[in-house]
Structure 1
Amino acid sequence: MILGIWAALALAGLPPLIADEPSAEKPPAEELSVEVVQNRLKEIEASQTLDDAAKGSLRELYQQAIQDIEAAKTWAASVKRSEEMVASAPDELAKVKSDLASLPRQSTVSIPETSLVQLEQSLSQKSTELTAIKNLLAELEAEPKRRAARRLEMPKLAATARERLTEVEAQLQALAAAADTSELVGAKRIALTARRRCLEQEALSYQTELKAYDQRAELLPLRRDLAAGQAALAEQELTKWREAVNRRRQRDAEDQLRRAKQEAQQAHPAIADLTRQNEELAQRRKDLAQLIVQTTAQLERANSQLAAIEDQFKRTRDKVDAVGQTNAIGLLLRKQRQTMPDVRSQSRNIRGRQPTIQECQLELLQLDDRRTDLADLEKQIQKELLVAGREAHVDNEYELEWAARRALETEKEYLDALIVDLNSYFDKLIDLDNAERQLTQKTEEYIEYIDERVLWIRSTSALDKESLHYLGQAAAWLIQPDSWLELAGCLFRDAGKDPFRAAPVALAFLLLLWGQRRLRSRLNDVGERAEMANCSRLVPTMEALGLTVALSCVVPAILWYLSWRLNAESATSVFCTAVAAGLTFTAGAYLVLDLLEKQCCRNGLADSHFGWPSSALRPVRHYVRIAKALVLPLFVVVVTIESQPNNRWSDSLGRVCFTVAMFASAILVQRALRPKGPVYQALLASRQEGWLVSFRLVWYPVAVLLPAALAVLALTGYYYAAQQLAVRMLAGSYLLLGLALARSLLLRWVLVRRRKLAIEHARQRRAAALAEAASAGNESGVTSVIPSANEPALDLATINVQTQRFIEYSLALTGLLGMWLVWVDVLPALRVLDKIGLWQAGSSAEWTSLADVSLAVLIFAMTLTAARNAPGLLEMALLQRLPLDAGFRYTINTVSRYLIVLVGILISCNLIGLSWHTVQWLVAAISVGLGFGLQEIFANFVSGLIILFERPVRVGDVVTVGETSGVISRIRMRATTITNWDRKEYIVPNKEFITGRLLNWTLSDKVNRVVVNVGIAYGSDTTLAADLILKIARQHPLILDEPAPRVTFEEFGASSLNYVLRCFLPDMENRLQVIHELHIAIDCEFRQAGIEIAFPQQGIHVRSIQADPQLLGQMLAGSMNAQNSDEEDDRQQRKRQVA
């Protein structure tokens, strides 16, 4: 075996394993093969003279040689294919030209008369053929782009291959010049030889491939034309086959229905239900055949639209990639954006089709169950015969059995046909649903692609002299008398066609105009009634709202009607269509502005119902009138010019009017909302702590500068972008005005509800007072507690705080959702910010873009807003409805606030590239530094967390820390606030509550004891005094029955008999009030009972004695000690009373 291997190596010109003499001859490359190298590799593995390291090196070289030999074969096959393509190009060209010339323009397929099953099989085959042809056409259409990219790539690849081939040649020459004949050198020579062969074939493959492309350059477009023609013919044939299938199905269904009706008429009365059921099955199949035809047409239409969208999207992307974002590309994108299918309509169709699909599935299951029952035909026959025998007398049972058998066999046949058709209908529905879903997805993707780019492309050049030239033409077209006469004629023709419609409309408009004065008078009356302090119904406000809408809708209704009739006229000119669009816009904008003006009028909604200050309403009315007279006509011209097809007129007159309108809007907003103006001051006064005040330095400049910025955009050529932003800015303004109106209406409703409750309570108090006075015989002394009309109205600040907060949150969420819907189409354009890289967090990390930073700032701002408002919303919406105490709810709110801030910071940092693995070393270093430098703050923070979770103190607890007693009002991150009895806030670090001593009066039990000391004079009835004190304590509503109150006779005092009342209260809220009421009640009861409350007494005895200085000093010292003792007793007694 070894001799055979050596012989093969000798024949291949390869060096033996152990060469005795050097051989400088190069092995012939053409004799290299995989088998030879593999044999050499096996011999190496079996060798006993080579160590493992040498074997590893040789193994690697030989394996690389095998890979290169295989690659050389692949390149050689590629060369062969290219040469065959070059050789066959003339013949294929002639054949394709011949096939293209003989290709018919119309399909001449003949549909044979056969069964429905065979027709459906042929239809399926034709559909498969069409799919194959379309796949081939798609490949041929993509081939030019692939070849172009390949032509750009192959010179570089060929140059690289030649360079590597030169290096390999140099290495082989160096090995040939060397005198080394070791096995390693031989293996290198084999590997280099195989590599040289591979590189030679690779370079040759590139050369032949380029040559094949040149030879077949004329063939490719002809093949594409031939495939397109074949696809068109195949589609025509498929349509004919589909129509044949539908005709055959309808004909079969009609035949079945006709036969079913005949059998029902001729059937035995006992089996009439069976034949009637067969007739229903046949009728269902006939209806189903028509549904299949309709669904098939919808499916073809959806597939056609999907193919068109995909093709158009592909071509557009190719153009953008090839040309870039030029003005021509911008015009193309805008036109395609206008012709996009309606995604909302497609979504509605998809949602509306789901019940039909479910019903179809259910019907299939029911039919399958019935078909399963008919599998045992004899059993069903006996069952029907049994039913027929019970219901009617049958003379000939054999005839009845035969009729039942025939009816059930017919039902079985109809069921089979119906199940097949219903499955076909179900498949069509599923295919249609999938096609429309793909169409919706592709349309949304295409729209998003356009929206991402179109705003950043100039729609026109900057305003210049040429634009002014076209401005004159546009103005002349707009004011041309003939066009307006044509418009009037169009309206008169429309009225003459249907006078019964025009006359009532005109009469309604005249009645509205005639009733304007009465409506205004009624609005004043309603406003005066709503201003009354005892107005407790929302009806006047809703009536005022209706009157305001009625007053404002007259002119918009006329404009909308004229626009509707102009669009309805079939022979409408371009001018009439453009004016109709302008009238439609005018109707909507005028309605909003007039509603705002009428709302702010005297005794209107804002004045009499919402309580807006009159000083702010007058400027609003003034600036709204200016906007209707100046800004609105300019926008009407813009919309009218935009609705005609001449883009140069739109870029001239339309752009000038748009710019002037935007600058005028900026000036009006600045004048209306200037910081020292009444409107601005009224807004700030109404929301002293809201976002309106917090962000006033943001929203005011934005409101003023945004219209001006849009005007500048239009002047510099970004007219389309300015228009789109202006439309959404206008829609956002409408939304804010609507939310303001809704807020005012809801707050008005809350106010009148609270006012109604207050009046009802006042009436109840008055009735109780009258009843009490009547029982006492003193009715004349009772006065009315019902507020009169001249009493001041309740302030909005007295509205229920929770309800108002719920309204604010609901409107805020509605506003956010509305703004999202308004601006969602523009958001894709912001993706351009993602292409602006700012920094790189690490060597291998992705770039942080401007979009990431903007999103991080937005999320951080939303985090701060959520941390401020979300706990309150959580408290109002959920926590108050749960059986939780106030302290636990405060803990949940605080922890949720911490979590919101933590999550927001983490997300924001992650967006800007500050992930944990990139900053963990920095966090560790900062933590160590802060741990030493701010250890007290960290200790207080951790103590605050312990307080929140362990809850040794809670919000609302009464505590004593040191010499300070009060109520826990807030638990913050660093310190806790105690509000003492003087309403002063005492700030205590959290650490004090954990490490120091703390007295919590209400930690586990809020029940507390009240001690009242009472002293009566000597000689009083002690038993009666004790009974009276105990009676007073038991009658008090706030004193607990268990533990029961107790009265004790404590001592015989110096001046009084001392009693002590000990009773218990459920909490600390009314402690001082209860002590006050007990003192007053005891004093009153003792007065009525003749019991004297003692007071300190001291008898002074004056005697004349011989003055002894020493004795006099002792007496004075004893007197002072006695006085000090009495004062100390008084202080101790007062302390006990306070406690």
Structure 2
Amino acid sequence: MNGLLRALGIYAGRFGSALIRYPAIIVLVGMALLVALPVRAEVAAPAALAHAIAAENSRLSAQIAETKTALERARSDLVQQRNSQQQLEQRMQRIERHAQVHALGQIFSQTVIEQLSLLPSVEGFDAARHVRKELLEAASDTSLKAEHALDELADMETAVVLRFGTAQPALPDTLWPQFAAVARPLLRQQQVLLTSLDELQQELAQALQANDAAALALVQRTQAVRTELTRLLFWVPARPSLQTISELAPSWAWMTSAANWRAAVLTLGGQLAWRPFWPTLALVLALTLFLARQRLQAKLVALAPSAGNAERYWIGYTVTALAITLALALPGPLLLWTAADLLRTAPDAQRFALALAAALVVSAKLLLALSAFAGLLDRRGVAGGHFGWDESLLSFSGQALRRFTLMFVPLLFLVALNGLDHAPFANRESLGRMSFTLAMLVFALFLGRLLRRRSPLIQRLYARAPRSWAVRLYALWFGAALAVPLAIAGLSAAGYSVAAAYFFGHILMSLFMVLGAVALYGLIALWVQVERRRLRRRQALEALRLAREAAVEGGEDGSEVAEPPITRLDIAAISEQTRSLLDLFITLLLLGGIWWVWKGGLPALSVIIDHPLWTYHATVDGQSTTLPLTVGNLFLAIVVAVVTAVAVRNVGALLDIVLLQRFEVEADATYAIKVITRYALAAVGMVSAFSILGIAWDDVHWLIAAMGVGLGFGLQEIVANFVSGLIVLAERPIRIGDIVTVGDVTGTVARIRARATAVLDFDGKEVIIPNKAFITGSVVNWTLSNQTTRLLLKVGVAYGSDIALVQRLLLEVVQGNADVLQEPSPSVYFMDFGDSSLDFEVRAFVGSFDKRLRVTHELNFAIDAVLSENGIEIPFPQRDLHLRSGPALVGGQGSVPAQGDAATAPPAGPPSPAASALP
């Protein structure tokens, strides 16, 4: 190699020296190159164009090969899906044939469980459908491109000319024959390839569409089969027998096998070494949270709305406290989840490792939920520090929940390890069933200790609301609370393991949802209190600023005006309106959440839901038919009734906050709208509930007619009062807050009900007046259209007084009172010559009925003072008393004079005080 390089160097040196010696050679070589390069360029340009066409043909050929491969795969998948559906149908027919036998044993249950485990997952169907969608889009785009290219090659000569014209730089016309001779065969070949590609892409699209339709049919059938198998397994018992007892020993041996645990640990270690990032991150996070536990608890206490941060407190502190509560409960469940994920995703995981992974997931979820709620109920946690719940109740509930967690979570771990999909069937029916039954008994014991009559929780309920429905129905709901876990334990012991597990899981989720709704209620109520306190604080500071400015303008020291105190947050102090709205919102949200929890099990519960209670006649499509009323219909009617009751009770607050406050609506109109809305909701709810129960108008019209006759005779007053109440709400002759006089009752209208109206008199008593009295009787409404009311004061002065002076003094007194209106102007009239006085009437107007008594008192007080100052006497009635001696008491016995001797009695002096007191 080195020798070759040396030789080339020698020849290059010699050639360079020759060029230097003979410059004419340079000129000749340059001229030859100038002549040869255009010729070579003219030959290379058509070849480059032909090469580009050949490259396009090569790409089309490769694309055709790929399309053929995809087409074969799609057809193979289609055949496989059809075969899977046929096999599924065959297995399902075999199971249904055996299901017709009422006496089914453990082999049938085991077969159904195995069939359920073999069913393809919905996630796999969704992933395959997504891939097919992408392939179908690509096939459609490729087919369209091929069709466009074929349209361009329809006129071959034009296509050749267009290709020739695309050369850069432009080629001379002398090269056209050479290019056309090469391009025509290549473009004809491309036309054939495009036609083949278009046909293959269309076949692929059709195959993919057929594949998608078959997959959709298989998915639907798989879901139907899963529903049917779940229903069969739900109510097919595996009754305990001697075999169940004999399987306890091998089940215990499988669960405690050192080989199984060693293999699971090795699998866990291998997975951790293969992908260490996320497990290490989870471990570091769990250790960090565990080590920072004391600081997080101190932060939790510091975030409470105490006196230290009451001024700057906002709702974000409570949200942060909830996040800290969740973080404090996270370390243990996070480690369990990480270990379960490593075991579950191991490619060579054994059956025990998969069962252990499933058990760890169940334990992690349960431990996280119980620990979070235990932290929420801690006396230093959110419930006590932020929501203001009773600390003694929180301490009792939190300790009970922690003790329950220590016992219940290990039991559920045993249940999940022996009772889920990857556990042997013998373990499910022996050890799994027994541990689940024991867990339910522990659950019942926990509920009994928590809700017993002498527990602090129930004692507080009795103390705060002794007449509430919760107290009245305590025995009923306490018995139901204990009966639920005991019934689930009975189902498990009787062999209905699937049904028992389903009911327990969904009841537990519903219970956690109720607790979450309670926490959400407290959070929203606290937020409302924070915003209201902030608004009141802002208004108080603005009033303080104005007061200080006024003090400075008056020459005083503005700093002496005290700042408003900082009020503490109290959730119990929220208004009734806000509480009603929160009740409605949380109730509807909770019902929706419970429906979401239970809706997936409706097919399995169809045995209960579709159980007929009685039948009723109905008209369907013009034909009379008999329909059954099922348990589901009855339950739905009860739910509709409950929702209607909650809505009727709280719709007023919803209308006030959401709608009526946005418009300028008077208070009486607002009340009428709310009452009529309640009536409408109640009517709609009743009609809906009755229609669900199969009670239509045709079934009750005769009853309504009979009730109409009965109402006309016996209940006409009640109907009259009800109709009068509607008229009162519509015409509004009286309104809430009006001061009315009905008969001898005067007071403020407090409530307008369907039958009667409550009037609060000035003694604080509520007088119930039938609505009919406001329509057919005479009613005085002091404040209907005008709040202005007249005062009429009668004043008598002694004979001989200066009448003009008295009139002027009285008028000055009335005009000097600030609450007396100047328009209409007050007046004083000399009305009559009385028996012992000159009678005047003082007429004055005040702006509201509430001022009548106070202004009357002030005017009387002032009139007495001004008349006394001016020496004008207010006389009292004069009466003459004549005394006679009776015949039985003559002779100094002190007798009263006889009635008939009045004319002959001697004149007496002024009567003594004792005698003046006699009638």
**Among residues 804, 808, 825, which one is paired with 1:1047 in the alignment?**
825
- Determine if the alignment matches structure 1 residue 680 to structure 2 residue 458: yes
Q: Which residue of the partner structure matches residue 301 of structure 2?
A: 524
Structure-2 change in CA distance of 1:1058 and 1:324 (3 Å): same
- Determine if the alignment matches structure 1 residue 578 to structure 2 residue 359: no
Q: Which residue of the partner structure matches residue 747 of structure 1?
A: 525
Structure-2 change in CA distance of 1:1080 and 1:990 (3 Å): closer
Structure-2 change in CA distance of 1:1012 and 1:903 (3 Å): closer
Measure, in 2, the Cα distance between the counterparts of 1:628 and 1:645. 24
Structure-2 change in CA distance of 1:722 and 1:397 (3 Å): farther
Pairwise CA distance, 1:639: 0.5
Question: Unpaired segments of 5 or more residues in structure 1?
Answer: 1-261, 1102-1106, 1117-1139
- Determine if the alignment matches structure 1 residue 661 to structure 2 residue 439: yes
Pairwise CA distance, 1:749: 2.1
- Determine if the alignment matches structure 1 residue 336 to structure 2 residue 154: no
Structure-2 change in CA distance of 1:546 and 1:836 (3 Å): closer
Structure-2 change in CA distance of 1:967 and 1:330 (3 Å): farther
- Determine if the alignment matches structure 1 residue 823 to structure 2 residue 598: yes
Q: Partner letter of residue 719 of structure 1? A: S
Q: Which residue of the partner structure matches residue 389 of structure 2?
A: 612
Pairwise CA distance, 1:311: 4.7
CA deviation profile, 1:998-1026 (whole Å, cap 9, x unmatched): 445566xx333244679999769979988
CA contact (8 A) 1:548 1:599 kept: yes
Q: Which residue of the partner structure matches residue 13 of structure 1?
A: none
Q: Which residue of the partner structure matches residue 481 of structure 1?
A: 258
Measure, in 2, the Cα distance between the counterparts of 1:368 and 1:1076. 99
Q: Which residue of the partner structure matches residue 48 of structure 1?
A: none
Q: Which residue of the partner structure matches residue 889 of structure 2?
A: none
Pairwise CA distance, 1:882: 5.1
Q: Please list, as runs of the form range in 1=range in 2, the aligned pairs for 1:522-671 lying within 5 A after superposition.
A: 522-527=299-304, 529=306, 533-534=310-311, 536-643=313-420, 644-671=422-449
CA contact (8 A) 1:1026 1:1048 kept: no
Pairwise CA distance, 1:658: 1.0
Measure, in 2, the Cα distance between the counterparts of 1:365 and 1:1021. 111
Pairwise CA distance, 1:650: 1.9
Measure, in 1, the Cα distance between the counterparts of 2:234 and 2:477. 24
Q: Which residue of the partner structure matches residue 720 of structure 1?
A: 498
Structure-2 change in CA distance of 1:479 and 1:320 (3 Å): closer
CA deviation profile, 1:557-616 (whole Å, cap 9, x unmatched): 122222222223333332222222222222221112222222233422122111111111
Measure, in 1, the Cα distance between the counterparts of 2:672 and 2:80. 61
Measure, in 2, the Cα distance between the counterparts of 1:348 and 1:895. 54
Q: Which residue of the partner structure matches residue 239 of structure 2?
A: 461
- Determine if the alignment matches structure 1 residue 962 to structure 2 residue 739: no
Q: Which residue of the partner structure matches residue 766 of structure 2?
A: 985
**Among residues 96, 103, 107, which one is paired with 1:317 in the alignment?**
96
CA deviation profile, 1:214-234 (whole Å, cap 9, x unmatched): xxxxxxxxxxxxxxxxxxxxx
Structure-2 change in CA distance of 1:712 and 1:987 (3 Å): same
Q: Partner letter of residue 822 of structure 1? A: V
Pairwise CA distance, 1:1100: 7.6
Measure, in 1, the Cα distance between the counterparts of 2:581 and 2:54. 65
CA contact (8 A) 1:607 1:613 kept: yes
Structure-2 change in CA distance of 1:287 and 1:993 (3 Å): farther
CA deviation profile, 1:619-654 (whole Å, cap 9, x unmatched): 122212221221211111111112444222222211
Aligned to 2:254, the other structure's residue is in SS state helix
Q: Which residue of the partner structure matches residue 788 of structure 2?
A: 1009
- Determine if the alignment matches structure 1 residue 764 to structure 2 residue 545: no
Q: Please list, as runs of the form range in 1=range in 2, the aligned pairs for 1:165-244 lying within 5 A after superposition.
A: none
CA contact (8 A) 2:305 2:386 kept: no
CA deviation profile, 1:82-116 (whole Å, cap 9, x unmatched): xxxxxxxxxxxxxxxxxxxxxxxxxxxxxxxxxxx
Measure, in 2, the Cα distance between the counterparts of 1:968 and 1:983. 12
Q: Partner letter of residue 823 of structure 1? A: W
CA contact (8 A) 1:1032 1:1081 kept: no
Measure, in 1, the Cα distance between the counterparts of 2:174 and 2:736. 92
Structure-2 change in CA distance of 1:281 and 1:764 (3 Å): farther
Higher helix share: 1
Q: Which residue of the partner structure matches residue 928 of structure 1?
A: 709
CA contact (8 A) 2:125 2:219 kept: yes
**Among residues 940, 949, 961, which one is paired with 2:721 in the alignment?**
940
**Among residues 216, 221, 234, which one is paired with 1:442 in the alignment?**
221
Measure, in 2, the Cα distance between the counterparts of 1:887 and 1:296. 75
Structure-2 change in CA distance of 1:620 and 1:839 (3 Å): closer
Measure, in 1, the Cα distance between the counterparts of 2:59 and 2:866. 104
Measure, in 1, the Cα distance between the counterparts of 2:272 and 2:308. 46
**Among residues 719, 731, 755, which one is paired with 1:974 in the alignment?**
755
Q: Which residue of the partner structure matches residue 508 of structure 2?
A: 730
CA contact (8 A) 1:374 1:408 kept: no
Q: Which residue of the partner structure matches residue 20 of structure 2?
A: none
Q: Please list, as runs of the form range in 1=range in 2, the aligned pairs for 1:856-935 lying within 5 A after superposition.
A: 856-870=637-651, 872-881=653-662, 884-912=665-693, 914-935=695-716
CA deviation profile, 1:508-553 (whole Å, cap 9, x unmatched): 4433333223323333333475776545323432332232222221
CA contact (8 A) 2:286 2:331 kept: yes
Structure-2 change in CA distance of 1:538 and 1:978 (3 Å): same
Q: Which residue of the partner structure matches residue 292 of structure 2?
A: 515
Pairwise CA distance, 1:398: 14
Q: Partner letter of residue 661 of structure 1? A: A
Structure-2 change in CA distance of 1:296 and 1:465 (3 Å): closer
Measure, in 2, the Cα distance between the counterparts of 1:612 and 1:1030. 56
- Normalized against structure 2, the TM-score is what? 0.72
Measure, in 1, the Cα distance between the counterparts of 2:749 and 2:732. 12
Question: Unpaired segments of 5 or more residues in structure 2?
Answer: 1-44, 618-623, 796-801, 832-836, 877-881, 884-901, 910-919
Pairwise CA distance, 1:716: 1.8
- Determine if the alignment matches structure 1 residue 812 to structure 2 residue 587: yes
Q: Which residue of the partner structure matches residue 68 of structure 1?
A: none
Q: Which residue of the partner structure matches residue 12 of structure 2?
A: none
Measure, in 2, the Cα distance between the counterparts of 1:1017 and 1:300. 122
Q: Partner letter of residue 486 of structure 1? A: A
CA deviation profile, 1:186-208 (whole Å, cap 9, x unmatched): xxxxxxxxxxxxxxxxxxxxxxx
Measure, in 1, the Cα distance between the counterparts of 2:68 and 2:812. 102
Q: Partner letter of residue 937 of structure 1? A: I
Between 905-914 and 544-553, the greater mean CA deviation after superposition: 905-914
Between 406-415 and 549-558, the greater mean CA deviation after superposition: 406-415
Structure-2 change in CA distance of 1:1052 and 1:925 (3 Å): closer
CA contact (8 A) 2:584 2:647 kept: no
Q: Percent identity?
A: 26
Between 908-917 and 673-682, the greater mean CA deviation after superposition: 908-917
Structure-2 change in CA distance of 1:928 and 1:424 (3 Å): farther
Pairwise CA distance, 1:414: 10
Structure-2 change in CA distance of 1:946 and 1:324 (3 Å): farther
Pairwise CA distance, 1:888: 4.2
Measure, in 2, the Cα distance between the counterparts of 1:980 and 1:416. 98
Q: Partner letter of residue 820 of structure 1? A: W
CA contact (8 A) 2:451 2:458 kept: yes
Pairwise CA distance, 1:712: 1.4
CA deviation profile, 1:849-907 (whole Å, cap 9, x unmatched): 55554554454444444443455545544454455444444444434434444444445
Measure, in 2, the Cα distance between the counterparts of 1:284 and 1:658. 60
Aligned to 1:977, the other structure's residue is in SS state strand
Measure, in 1, the Cα distance between the counterparts of 2:92 and 2:192. 49
Measure, in 2, the Cα distance between the counterparts of 1:596 and 1:654. 27
